[in-house]
Amino acid sequence: MNNRTEMREFLASRRAKIRPEDVGLPVGTNRRVPGLRREELAALAGVSVSWYIRLERGDAVGASDAVLNAIARTLKLDDVERRHLYDLSRGSNGGAPKPARRRQSSPAVRSTLQLVLDQMTTLPAVIQNDRTDILALNAPARALYAGLINGTGGPWNHARYIHLDPGSQQFYRDWNEIADYSAAMLHVSAGRNPYDRELSNLIGELATQSEDFRVRWAKHNLHEHQSGVKKVHHHDVGDMDLIYETLSVQGNPALAMFIYTAEPGSLSAEALQRLSASVPVAVRQG
């Protein structure tokens, strides 16, 4: 959670992915590391070697948009990676005193949002912050994530469940991909919120207790959930391929609503219908 370290490791990891032959440079036989050398990247980006070295050391003071764009273009960064580079640049200040890490309270979920969730009696839906704390959910979501909730009080944390609870590997049929995405999403959040103490504590907890998480974190991959399919196995209704969409919460940019459904007429839709029907009426009505 040190922005200078994050900047250094992120740039080095992306530089290692660019093969010399892909940018018209000779491969040679005396390369000790994969990817481009620092001086090669600097030349391709049109910046001085000393400037790029300074940037890769985490000192982004004075880094203009033109320089960052040139480096992003040379490293072939996608939109998420490019935004992450800008976030890291804003959080790096060349060794000047940093603000103390602050405990960030989770934004309150408006009562009207909970009302909307509760009216979705057949579609699981949750509201999550960028630390993957589940702050609100409806009855079908409680049934879907029964293993995560496990009878405990909230807030529940999705990343902690994925990386520390063995039950998640039975729940997520594509657990390896889910675990990669989880670490990658936390990287994005860490770039945006370098002084969030709760986020820093969460990442430290995961890294301390899970070697697998440490390996995934060290890759510096990035991911933002927007839409897709989650393949799960629920102990009551079996396998489901759930389509999800992510909606931003107006007024609370750190919050997102995840809504799950299934292809109409599919076995997954039938299983989801059985799951929703299993929720007691009193719970469905709040």
Q: What is the mean pLDDT of residues 80-94?
A: 82
On whether both 264 and 123 belong to a single domain, the answer is yes
On whether both 147 and 249 belong to a single domain, the answer is yes
237 occurs within a structural domain? yes
104 occurs within a structural domain? no
Q: What is the mean pLDDT of residues 83-97?
A: 72
Segment 251-263, tens digit of pLDDT: 787 899 999 999 9
Segment 117-150, tens digit of pLDDT: 999 999 999 999 999 999 999 999 999 999 999 8
On whether both 246 and 149 belong to a single domain, the answer is yes
Q: Cα–Cα distance between 40 and 148 in angstroms, integer?
A: 48
201 occurs within a structural domain? yes
Last residue of a domain, one of 23, 58, 91: 91
Last residue of a domain, one of 91, 126, 151: 91
On whether both 69 and 123 belong to a single domain, the answer is no
Instruction: Tell me what pLDDT residue 97 has.
Output: 40
pLDDT at residue 103 tops 70: no
Q: What is the CATH number of the domain that holds 244?
A: 3.30.450.180
Instruction: Tell me what pLDDT residue 106 has.
Output: 60
Q: 212: domain range?
A: 111-284
Segment 169-222, tens digit of pLDDT: 999 999 999 999 999 999 999 988 888 899 999 999 999 999 999 999 999 999
The most confident of 29-38, 107-116, 233-242, 272-281, by mean pLDDT: 233-242
On whether both 266 and 202 belong to a single domain, the answer is yes
On whether both 130 and 271 belong to a single domain, the answer is yes
102 occurs within a structural domain? no
On whether both 135 and 231 belong to a single domain, the answer is yes
Percentage of the chain lying above the pLDDT 70 cut: 89
Instruction: Tell me what pLDDT residue 105 has.
Output: 56
On whether both 59 and 118 belong to a single domain, the answer is no
170 occurs within a structural domain? yes
Q: Which of 108-122, 147-161, 252-266 has the lowest mean pLDDT?
A: 147-161
Segment 219-232, tens digit of pLDDT: 999 998 889 999 99
Are 71 and 7 a contacting pair, CB within 8 Å? no
96 occurs within a structural domain? no
117 occurs within a structural domain? yes
pLDDT at residue 1 tops 70: no
On whether both 131 and 199 belong to a single domain, the answer is yes
Last residue of a domain, one of 38, 59, 91: 91
On whether both 149 and 234 belong to a single domain, the answer is yes
Instruction: Tell me what pLDDT residue 67 has.
Output: 87
Q: What is the CATH number of the domain that holds 39?
A: 1.10.260.40
On whether both 118 and 223 belong to a single domain, the answer is yes
Segment 41-83, tens digit of pLDDT: 999 999 889 888 888 888 887 778 888 999 999 999 999 999 9
Q: How many domains does the chain have?
A: 2
On whether both 215 and 116 belong to a single domain, the answer is yes
Instruction: Tell me what pLDDT residue 5 has.
Output: 85
105 occurs within a structural domain? no
Instruction: Tell me what pLDDT residue 100 has.
Output: 47
Average predicted confidence (pLDDT) for the chain: 87
